[in-house]
Amino acid sequence: MHSSLIPRRAHRAALALGLLAWAPGLRAQTTAVGGSGATGGSAVQRAEALLRDGRRIDAKMFLGQHLALEPNDGRAWFALGRIHLGDAQRWHREGHVAAGVGIPVAEFASSAFDQAHRLLADSASVYLVLAVVEQATLRIERLGWTAAVAEPMAAEELPLPPVLNELGRNLMGSCPRGGVLVTGSLVETASVWGARFLDDERADLILIRPDLYAFDSLYRGRMATEIGADASADLPAALVAASAKRPVCLTPTVDSITTTALSWHPLRLVLAAGTIANGEAPMQMSVHQLARTGIAGSVWSEAVRDVYELAARRNRTLCESLFNRPDAHGLPAITACPR
């Protein structure tokens, strides 16, 4: 077992208890906000209504009070985790207004999703990955890229659904050694970062979140230094600078970031540009997990299939090299690859 597994999980559990510890003291206030004794479904609906009214603090207080009474309500834990994750992301967008606030908020999100995962399965596990990504981002801003991602995690600690782990490994395996890999959608980000945290086989890759690069100057400064770019430049310009020394790769949903200053070409599942070693050997890819589970096997299977669909539309060689192979029998239809 990974040496940090027990401390990390114990820390998450302690934080989850901390989230609830203050809730009973708020019962009178949350009763006024939304009533007490709500069932799991109605509790989440009430919290969502408060969010729609712009009452984020009230929504968190209400869910905390509910979970103090009903700690096995996975949907409520999931809803609470999403609010905390949104708060952590907003903290980046608003320029780190309150120093240090992002760290506990990201940890609260991770703890809530960990509790939800134990009760709900893979929806919560994917958001747990996103919360871990948020915590890693905070480490990047404090310590730099290399130190922030130095320690892999155990599968028990980061239960990424198999179809997403497979997608993440395929996307990383599509980018040449020493590359910069830019991820786009939620599914791509959770897949790539989750697979990277679980296995440091591709420790040579630098992963970039374009959303943060655009609006978080601290994150941009750290990552610009890592890829050899000017921190005052936007991401397309930074990728041009990086391409002089290393490959740069875009996952299938990131086409809009392309710039005419680079010559992009399909390489397995990604678009690639820059310095790519001649004769780079293709890395093993597989769609076995998606073929095995099908669209109904995971709530994320259809989203994963859509990423493969985008990749196949711009790289038809994938049809024979990956999607129409014998081991892909049962794969949900990729319409860009007629059979």
Q: Residue 167: is its pLDDT beyond 90?
A: yes
Residue 32: per-residue pLDDT: 40
Average pLDDT over residues 146-161: 80
- Pick the closest to residue 15 from 109, 127, 83, 84 (CA basis): 109
CA-to-CA distance for 121 and 314, rounded, in angstroms? Answer: 34
Domain count, the chain: 2
- Residue range 296-322: average pLDDT? 91
Residues spanned by the domain of 281 = 160-339
Mean pLDDT of 175-189: 93
Contact 173, 116 (CB under 8 A): no
pLDDT value of residue 241: 95
Residue 119 covered by a domain = yes
Whether residues 193 and 327 fall in one domain: yes
At residue 166 the predicted structure's pLDDT band, cuts being 50, 70 and 90, is very high
Residue 155: inside a domain: no
User: Do 167 and 286 lie in a common domain?
Assistant: yes
The answer on 185 and 246 residing in a single domain is: yes
Residue 134: pLDDT band (50, 70, 90) is: confident
Whether 33 shows a pLDDT value over 70: the answer reads: no
Model pLDDT, residue 144: 92
Tell me: do 124 and 38 sit in the same domain: yes
Task: Look at residue 26 and tell me if it is in a domain.
Answer: yes
Write down the pLDDT at residue 125: 78
Q: What is the dihedral of CA 142, 154, 116, 167, to 10 degrees?
A: 90
What does the pLDDT average to over 20-30? 40
Residue 153 lies in a domain: no
Supply the pLDDT for residue 101.
55
**Average pLDDT in the chain:** 81
- Residues 112 and 169 occupy one common structural domain: no
Same domain, 193 and 139: no
Choose between 210 and 126: higher pLDDT: 210
Within a domain: residue 215? yes
What is the identity of the amino acid at 50? L
209 plus 87 within the same structural domain? no
Asked, for residue 154, whether it belongs to a domain, the answer is: no
Give yes or no: residues 34 and 128 share one domain. yes
**Better-predicted residue by pLDDT, 55 or 2:** 55
pLDDT at 327 over 80: no
Indicate the pLDDT class of residue 97, thresholds 50, 70 and 90: low
| % of residues, the chain, pLDDT over 70 | 82
- The pLDDT value recorded for residue 248 is 95
Section 207-231 average pLDDT: 93
Residue after which a domain boundary falls, among 120, 148, 176: 148
Determine the average pLDDT of the residues in 245-274.
89
pLDDT band at 164 (very low <50, low <70, confident <90, very high): very high
Q: Are residues 40 and 185 in the same domain?
A: no
Tens of pLDDT, residues 276-298: 754 465 578 999 999 998 887 77
Identify which has the larger pLDDT, 278 or 88: 88
Checking if the pLDDT of 36 tops 50, the result is: no
pLDDT in tens, 56-83: 889 989 988 888 888 888 888 888 888 8
- Reported as a pLDDT band with limits 50, 70 and 90, residue 329 is confident
Residues in the chain: 339
Evaluate whether residue 72 is within a structural domain. yes
Phi, psi dihedral angles at 201 (to 5 degrees): -60, -35
Last residue of a domain, one of 83, 118, 148: 148
12: its two tokens: 């998450």
Place 251 in a pLDDT band, splitting at 50, 70 and 90.
very high
Residues 209, 291 within the same domain? yes
Residue 269 has pLDDT above 70, yes or no: yes
Is residue 108 domain-shared with residue 48, that is, in the same domain? yes
Phi, psi of 12 (to 5 degrees): -60, -45
CA distance 168 to 251: 10
Q: Pick 325 or 281 by higher pLDDT.
A: 325
Decide which of 106 and 36 is more confident: 106
Predicted pLDDT at 282: 57
- The answer on pLDDT for 41 being more than 70 is no
Residue 94 lies in a domain: yes
Distance between CA atoms of residues 223 and 72, nearest Å: 40
Give the full edge-to-edge strand order of the sheet including 265-267. Answer: 206-208, 180-182, 247-250, 270-274, 265-267
Domain boundary (101, 125, 148) is at 148
Are 83 and 174 found together in one domain?
no
Over range 174-192, report the average pLDDT.
Answer: 93
* Average pLDDT of the residues in 163-181: 94
Rounded to a whole number, what is the largest CA-CA distance in the chain? 68
